[in-house]
Amino acid sequence: MAKVNVNKLYNRLLAKMGPQGWWPADTKPEIVVGAILVQNTNWKNVEKSLTNLQKATAFDPTAISRLTLENLEQLIKPSGFFTSKARAIHETCQFFNEFQWDYPLIVKQYGKQLRKRLLDIPGIGPESADVFLVYVFDLPVFIADKYARRLFGFLLGQSYDNYQALKNSVSLPANFSQLEAKELHGLIDEFGKTYLKNEATFQKSFLACQITELVDNN
C-alpha cells in the first residue's frame, strides 16, 4: 500500500517554507480555548473571539472559569456555534482545573489513555484532542485536519472523507519529536491556505512535481 513518507514531506516543507512556530498563541490556556473556537469556522473569526476573551480574562484560567455561560457566549459569538463552544470551554476548563493546569501531571495520570480521556470531555472531538496532545501536552502526534486530509489525498490520489480515516493510516516516524510534530502541522496548514483549495491550486505547488519522491509504494 502506498504511503506518504512523513520525514521527506516534513523536510521538503521545512526547506521551502521555513519554521512556522505554530500554534498562534502566547499561552497554553489560549491554545486550549482557540482549539475549541476554531471548530467549524475560520481563524479570522476565532481571532475576534480571542481578542474579546483577552480583554475580559487575559486568558487566566480562573477568570475564564468564573465567566457565566451567558457571558462566555457573548464573548465568543464571532466564532459561531457559541452555545456549544461555551459549554465545551467550561467543561474543558473544569478538567484542567482538577489538576491545577499541571500538564505533566495530567500526562502522568492518564498516560496512553489521555486521548481517550480528552474525547470524554463534552464538545472535544478527535481534532481538538490531538491539538491538545501536541500543543498543550507536548506529545508527538499527527493531526489529521482538513488540510492534512487534502494534502495526503492529492499525494496518494485518494480521498479521506473524515478525520479518523487519515489518522488511522498515518504514523509519525519513531524519531519524530514533539517540536517536529508541531512544525509539521503548522507547515501543512500554511501550505494548505495557498495550495490546497482544490486540485488545480495543488498542481501549481512545489510539492506537485515531487509526488514520486514523497510516496513510498512498498
Dihedral sign for Cα atoms in the order 49, 51, 57, 58: positive
Q: What is the pLDDT of residues 18-31, one digit of tens each?
A: 999 999 899 999 99
Which pLDDT band, with edges at 50, 70 and 90, does 32 fall under? very high
Show Cβ contacts of residue 121 under 8 Å, excluding neighbours closer than 6 positions. 88, 91, 92, 95
Contact criterion met (CB below 8 Å) for 131 and 22? no
- Say whether both 9 and 39 belong to one domain: no
Q: Which residue has the higher pLDDT, 62 or 1?
A: 62
- Say whether both 165 and 146 belong to one domain: yes
Q: What is the pLDDT of residues 134-173, one digit of tens each?
A: 999 999 999 999 999 999 999 999 999 899 999 999 999 9
Which pLDDT band, with edges at 50, 70 and 90, does 112 fall under? very high
- Number of other CB atoms surrounding residue 7 within 10 Å: 15
pLDDT at 1 over 90: no
Give the residue from 158, 157, 155 showing the smallest Cα distance to 4. Answer: 155
Distance CA 131, CA 118 (A): 11
- Say whether both 146 and 129 belong to one domain: no
- Say whether both 126 and 39 belong to one domain: yes
**41-57: average pLDDT:** 96
pLDDT for residue 217? 84
Three-state SS sequence of 13-38: HHHHHCCCCCCCCCCHHHHHHHHHHC
**76-89: average pLDDT:** 97
Q: Structural domain of residue 86, as residue ranges?
A: 28-136
| Coil, helix or strand at residue 86 | helix
Tell me 121's DSSP state. S
- Number of other CB atoms surrounding residue 218 within 10 Å: 5
Q: What is the pLDDT of residues 166-214, one digit of tens each?
A: 999 999 999 999 999 999 999 999 999 999 999 999 999 999 999 999 9
- Say whether both 122 and 189 belong to one domain: no
Distance CA 155, CA 191 (A): 14
CA angle, 59 then 60 then 65, to 5°: 100
- Say whether both 44 and 106 belong to one domain: yes
pLDDT for residue 25? 92
Tally of domains in the chain: 2
Q: Measured between alpha carbons, how far is residue 115 from residues 4, 7, 38, 120, 159 in Å?
A: 24, 24, 19, 9, 25
pLDDT at 218 over 80: no
| End-to-end CA, the chain | 6
CATH code, domain with 74: 1.10.340.30
Please list the alpha-helical segments (H only) found in the chain.
6-17, 28-37, 43-57, 61-66, 69-75, 82-97, 103-110, 114-119, 126-131, 146-156, 163-167, 178-195, 199-203, 211-214
φ/ψ of 76, rounded to 5, equals -105, 10
- Say whether both 126 and 52 belong to one domain: yes
